[in-house]
Structure 1
């Protein structure tokens, strides 16, 4: 997928090239939480109607954040998540007839813009110690279906992350955050539904496996972040020469 390669290049360029000339606060951090999914096997979020079909699985990641103004931060993310589901626990008619199960690993590289509602950490003497924030961005995602070793569909998709979070100043060096982010994708195959034959080549019933191509799958990351505030290098003071 050529367009996805260009997205990756643009993300790396936005994170690495756009470094401020003025002294600003840089952060590096980690994320840990849960990944969930919305698609043919889970048509609602939260999944109240099909809660037995879908399990929340682990999501972990690393990120860099640059705080380039009082309100705007730029963040680059590398995130891994796993989503899965099974019709074995379903009570509706379609689940019982379909009998499908899936497990898919997701690798995401993304860049996002964060809008901070408060003047977080900017005043060194009396800093704002917390702020809510919104974010939106663009990224690329690679799927790895564990139960379909010979997928016939594209495993890559552009993603659009959008979400909300809250971050807190623990001390001069550490920030703690909580956030929820949804990922709009341009694929309908995260759940491996939409394929007309199984891995063994046996035809699937199109009544249950066609999928809704007008409604692409989505996935969600919910979790905590912990970031380290990188110290600003002190500039060398000019040497005073004593005169006589």
Structure 2
């Protein structure tokens, strides 16, 4: 009887692990990071810099997915390439490296799952919370905190290539809680005018990516 119980518990544990594994998806991708703030009041494609990401998904259902991801890259801006006369007069440039860890929830508009009879796809939206560490290229203008919370949100499209392999095209915005991503500004009136920021323009950054993911699937062999 004891042996039977042990075997039964082992089988249940194995089945649970297999069921859990089928909900797991891992992936990696590359893309472009961009910035909007004092030095770039609008999005400038020429300011885009390379970014890369790795992700871990838990597919709770065909509609809901939880994702943890790591993003590394940099953002850049140059006053001389902006049409605003104040920006051109100020003449500042910056480059900031960013490392980000985020947890998001995705909502698929269509039932998204692998089906061996057709290739599945769905648009989706996502939102969540993250933390990012940024490091400016130049000496910081003041003693500001470089470890900050961010709110990531955006849209994307998932497409099943074949079997467990999927492509994700995604555009995401990061709402930052600091105005120093471009190493400008603050509340210090003693700073030179060319190092002070415009408080009406809060800093944000964006990430557009193409990722390849692999979902662990249980393959049924025909008898």
Q: Name the TM tier (shorter chain).
A: 0.7 to 0.9
What do residues 197-226 of structure 1 show as CA deviations (whole Å, max 9, x unaligned)?
9xxxxx6423x4321345420000001010
1:135 and 1:37 map into 2 onto residues whose CA distance is 20
2:207 maps to: 221
Q: 1:172 aligns with which of 156, 160, 163?
A: 163
Q: 1:100 aligns with which of 81, 92, 104?
A: 92
Q: 1:30 aligns with which of 22, 28, 31?
A: 28
Q: 1:40 aligns with which of 14, 38, 49?
A: 38
The answer on 1:154 being equivalent to 2:159 is no
What do residues 148-196 of structure 1 show as CA deviations (whole Å, max 9, x unaligned)?
2675211011000000000110111210110100000100000111158
1:214 and 1:21 map into 2 onto residues whose CA distance is 52
Q: 1:72 aligns with which of 64, 68, 78?
A: 64
The answer on 1:137 being equivalent to 2:128 is yes
In the TM superposition, what are the counterparts of 1:193-204 in structure 2 within 5 Å? 193-194=184-185, 204=191
SS in 1 for 2:162: coil
Structure 2 residues not aligned, in runs of 5+: 1-15
Q: 1:226 to 1:172 in 2, by over 3 A?
A: same
SS in 2 for 1:170: strand
2:80 maps to: 88
Pairs aligned (count): 203
1:74 and 1:66 map into 2 onto residues whose CA distance is 5
Deviation, 1:70, is 2.1
What do residues 101-148 of structure 1 show as CA deviations (whole Å, max 9, x unaligned)?
1100010000000001111115x4546611100000100011110122
